[in-house]
């Protein structure tokens, strides 16, 4: 008699656990689809990559070793937007890095010498770029590449030209030392899961 009641209780518990698991999976799938609708077109995404942040240059937004999700091919059918986190490859043999988009085509940009020696600040549309309450700066004893681009472009980003930066100045593998970046260098859009 006790065995029968115990067996009935265990069966009911397993049944409820199964119903709960199925409900969770269905609801999670629904909300993920709703999130993707807000993200943009997914027809061009060729791969969803789950990895982790490899460097410390985006600390404060994504810290080293935190998980990230990358939609490879996303920008083949979606526009690159300001503040997007992009999966950026400098060149084929080098591993991609995560950086943030600050300047987009049509933006006005200017590089100005800082009060601090060997430092330069960046303005986009007359607004100083700041991170964590302080001015973002480029560290350079010489004219930074971005200032050379500013002069040759009359201070306006052309079609398919972007300014991407780290979240920790003086930056590395971004516009602070590479200059303007073309959209073909963006392999995908980055999300925090």
Report the percent of the chain where pLDDT is more than 90. 67
Would you say 160 and 103 are in contact if contact means Cβ atoms under 8 Å apart? no
Higher pLDDT, 180 or 29: 180
Indicate whether 25 pLDDT > 60: no
Would you mind telling me the total number of residues written for the chain in this entry? 193
- As to burial, measured by CB atoms within 10 angstroms (0-12 exposed, 13-18 middle, 19+ buried), residue 105 is middle
Indicate whether 19 pLDDT > 90: no
Dihedral (CA of 47, 52, 56, 58) sign: positive
Q: For 75, phi and psi rounded to 5 degrees?
A: -80, 5
If pLDDT is split at 50, 70 and 90, which confidence band does 27 have?
A: low
Report the percent of the chain where pLDDT is more than 70. 87
Q: What residues does each domain of the chain span?
A: 1-39, 47-191
Q: Residue 79 in 3-state DSSP?
A: coil
Q: Which CATH code for domain 47-191?
A: 2.10.109.10
The confidence score (pLDDT) of residue 20 equals 67
The confidence score (pLDDT) of residue 162 equals 98
If pLDDT is split at 50, 70 and 90, which confidence band does 47 have?
A: very high
Indicate whether 28 pLDDT > 70: no
The confidence score (pLDDT) of residue 154 equals 97
Q: Report d(CA 147, CA 149) in Å as an integer.
A: 5
If pLDDT is split at 50, 70 and 90, which confidence band does 2 have?
A: confident
110: left (phi over 0), alpha (psi -120 to 50) or beta: beta
Per residue in 93-146, pLDDT tens?
899 999 999 999 999 999 999 988 999 999 999 999 998 888 999 998 888 999
Higher pLDDT, 111 or 22: 111
Residues 6+ away with beta carbon under 8 Å from 173: 57, 88, 90, 97, 99, 166
Per residue in 77-94, pLDDT tens?
999 999 999 999 998 889
């Amino acid at each position: 008699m006790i065995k029968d009641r115990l067996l009935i209780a265990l069966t009911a518990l397993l049944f409820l656990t199964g119903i709960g698991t199925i409900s969770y999976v269905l609801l999670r799938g629904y909300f993920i689809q709703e999130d993707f609708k807000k993200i943009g077109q997914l027809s061009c995404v060729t791969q969803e990559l789950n990895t982790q942040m490899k460097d410390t240059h985006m600390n404060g937004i994504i810290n080293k070793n935190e998980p990230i999700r990358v939609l490879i091919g996303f920008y083949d059918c979606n526009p690159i937007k300001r503040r997007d986190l992009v999966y950026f490859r400098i060149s084929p043999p080098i591993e991609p890095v995560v950086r943030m988009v600050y300047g987009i085509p049509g933006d006005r940009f200017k590089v100005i010498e800082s009060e601090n020696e060997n430092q330069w600040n960046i303005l986009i549309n007359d607004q100083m770029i700041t991170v964590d309450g302080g001015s973002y700066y480029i560290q350079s004893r010489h004219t930074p590449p971005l200032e050379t681009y500013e002069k040759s472009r009359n201070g306006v980003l052309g079609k398919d030209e972007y300014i991407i930066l780290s979240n920790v100045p003086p930056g590395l593998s971004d516009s602070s030392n590479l200059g303007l970046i073309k959209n073909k260098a963006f392999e995908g859009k980055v999300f925090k899961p």
